[in-house]
Amino acid sequence: MASGMLDIHCKRCGSYVLSYWKEGTGRLVRMYFDRIQAARGEKEGICGPFPTHLTCPNCTHRMGTAVTPEPGRKAYRMIPGTFRRKKSE
């Protein structure tokens, strides 16, 4: 999948979680916090300014864990099989 906007949905309950701008091709391994475009509510509304885990707002299923891959840049390391991604229209 090439660069573009993705809608991320919970695989357990199917609810919309957020929209993310993905760069490059390949799997979605990390989601950088500064590329999250729209979340249910606000960016901070996911669970706080930068929550420890990315969870579904509907069923609280954990989909990612907070990491800092580079100094000053926050991201979520995604857990394979816990989310679905669809190209935004």
User: What's the rounded Cα separation, in Å, for the pair 76 and 85?
Assistant: 15
Q: What is the pLDDT of residue 44?
A: 46
pLDDT in 10s for each residue of the chain, 89 residues: 568 899 999 999 999 999 999 999 889 999 998 898 876 554 444 445 667 889 998 999 999 999 998 888 899 999 999 999 999 87
pTM above 0.85, yes or no: no
pLDDT of residue 52: 85
Show the tokens assigned to 2: 């090439």
CB 64 within 8 A of CB 47: no
